[in-house]
Amino acid sequence: MKIVITYGTYDLLHQGHINLLRRAKALGDYLIVGVTSDSFDRERGKLNVRNNVLERVESVKATGLADRIVIEEYVGQKIDDIQKYEADIFAIGSDWEGKFDYLKEYCKVVYLPRTEGISSTLLRDSTQQIVRLGMVGTGRITHRFINEASNVSGLKITSCYNPNEAEAGAFALRHGLNPFSGKLDYFLADVDAVYVASPHTSHFDYVRQCLKSGRHVLCEIPFVLDGREARELYELAAAYGVVLLEASKTAFCPAWTHLLTLVKSGVIGKVVDVKSSLSKLLPETDRREFDPMQAGGSVTELAPLCLMSIIKLLGTDYSEVSFYSKMDKGVDIFTKANIIYENATASMTLGLGVKTEGNLVVSGTRGYVLVPSPWWLTNYFEVCYEDQNQNKKYFYTFQGDGLRYEIREFLSMIFNDRPSSFLLRAKESVAIADIIGKYRRGYQTKILK
């Protein structure tokens, strides 16, 4: 019996796929089809797959051409499968010509003619709803956001808003957008959704206006600087039936979400402690990050991601929080916070004027997870045990600036009418803002000399 094996995503299954499967089947007597898993597709940057893996398996099965279907989960699995199933031929479309020659060591490799004029991408784009997005703020991160957004389908960035007309105009000219700088309502009339990336202290008002105009909002971190404001905004979003999401990029990246599922599944036993650190020594101190009038300081600049990691791992029901800060020119250049739960402890170490190792350590009753610095650009972590031979290393790609993952989740919530994201729930964003608010009110804070 001659066994043929082939692989694909098979999203929105179409005639090109069917032709390929038919041609592959004709090469032998038995056809194995590998269908990529959702996480594997995300891993390899295919963020816009419309059908989930079960739907894609079902559609391949319905062709009646596959004698066996396997799920492709990881890079290198093709080699394992070819040996495991003793495949004689690996076949794939000619768009991959040469890319799988390394498999010739294991079996015959055949590149089959690709069907021109049809692809999952074309189908996705032709049926894709488009969200017109406007950007409030034209600072550093907004340039990166535009680049990242080009990797996510279903989004068209149309406008930018900055009260300073010259800045709005320059940004719009550079990126081919419509500039707005007067009344926000004119800007809002031009968009369906807004990315708020203005200075911290203006987030609350902008987000509230956008929500009340029925626009979806993705707001940069720090979302808002007080739990009460956060709660009010999520209540507004619910009342107006629009999406509100905190742009805490790490919360949406594949490596982090997998780390979370591993820990929640008990691989290190019960989590007893979380240590999360983030420091960024900035060259000059005449920037907004050091300006108390612009809510500068280590907590407002760096706490959101560390608090996200602690709250996603331990929850929002902490019993107490205390802070230790080193101050300079009216802002905290260093803050350590202890967040105590009934059955666990957590600490975060933040520094704009103090350098530390930016890692994340999750300590459990059976082992621990170590995410080396920069843990928040998660692309590698290790699950460690007393017997180091049991340690497991996990590697991921962290595509670009990592903003594409939050953008994709934001769009998915809009398209699927999903008011909340399990990746970062409203109550978790509120808890993050609440801790920042406590700090800003001087709650339980010891100032270091």
Q: Which amino acid, one-letter code, is at 418?
A: R
Which one, 20 or 314, has the nearer CB to ligand C2G? 20
Please give the structure tokens belonging to residue 104.
Answer: 């010739």
From candidates 3, 4, 5, 17, binder to ligand C2G by CB under 6 A: 17
CB 373 within 8 A of CB 360: no
Considering beta carbons, is residue 10 or 368 the nearer one to ligand C2G?
Answer: 10
| Shortest reach from residue 18's CB to ligand C2G, in Å | 9
| Residue 98 DSSP label | T
Which of these ranges, 61-69, 115-123, 149-157, 188-196, lies near ligand C2G under the rule CB under 6 A? Answer: 115-123
In the set 8, 134, 296, 358, which binds ligand C2G (CB under 6 A)? 8
Residue 13 Cβ vs ligand C2G, minimum distance, rounded to whole Å: 8
Contact 36, 78 (CB under 8 A): no
User: Rounded to an integer, what distance in angstroms lies between the CA atom of residue 254 and that of residue 239?
Assistant: 31
Q: Quick one: which segment of 113-121, 138-146, 159-167, 228-236 binds ligand C2G (CB under 6 A)?
A: 113-121
Per rule CB under 6 A, is residue 406 in the interface with ligand C2G? no
Site string for ligand C2G, 161-200 (x = CB under 6 A): ----------------------------------------
**Whole-number Å distance between alpha carbons of 64 and 390:** 42
Number of Cβ within a 10 Å radius of residue 13: 21
Indicate the residue among 22 and 264 with the shorter CB distance to ligand C2G: 22
**Considering only residues 63, 67, 110, 114, which one is a binding residue for ligand C2G as defined by CB under 6 A?**
114
Task: From 419, 415, 43, 92, select the one nearest 257 (Cα to Cα).
Answer: 43
C-beta of 262: minimal distance to ligand C2G in Å?
A: 24
Q: Under the criterion CB under 6 A, does residue 115 sit at the interface with ligand C2G?
A: yes
Cα gap 233→217, rounded to integer Å: 10
Minimum Å gap between C-beta 253 and ligand C2G is 21
CB closest to ligand C2G, residue no: 93
Six token digits for residue 439: 């700090």
Buried b (16+ CB within 10 A) or exposed e, 53-90: beebbebbeeeebbeebbebeeeebbeebbeeeebbbb
Give which of 104, 91, 87 is closest to 30, Cα–Cα.
Answer: 87
- Positions in 68-107 near ligand C2G (CB under 6 A): 72, 92-93, 95-96
119 contributes a contact to ligand C2G by CB under 6 A: yes
Whole-angstrom Cα distance, residue 1 to residue 445?
74
| Contact region with ligand C2G (CB under 6 A), list: 11-19, 322-330, 357-365, 383-391 | 11-19
Shortest separation between residue 236's beta carbon and ligand C2G, angstroms: 41
Binding mask 209-228 for ligand C2G (x = CB under 6 A): --------------------
Beta strands in 21-152 (DSSP E): 30-36, 68-72, 89-93, 108-112, 131-136
Q: How many CB atoms lie within 10 A of CB 151?
A: 17
Write the interaction track for ligand C2G spanning residues 29-68; mark x where CB under 6 A is met and - where it is not.
-------x--------------------------------
Query: How many Å apart are CA 327 and CA 445, to the nearest integer?
Result: 12
Are the C-beta atoms of 383 and 392 separated by less than 8 Å? yes
Closest CB 75 distance from ligand C2G, rounded Å: 9
CA-CA-CA-CA dihedral for 431, 434, 439, 442, to nearest 10: -140
Token pair in block for residue 47: 């963020």
Binders of ligand C2G: how many residues, by CB under 6 A? Answer: 19
Using CB under 6 A, list all residues that contact ligand C2G: 7-11, 16-17, 20, 36, 72, 92-93, 95-96, 114-115, 118-120
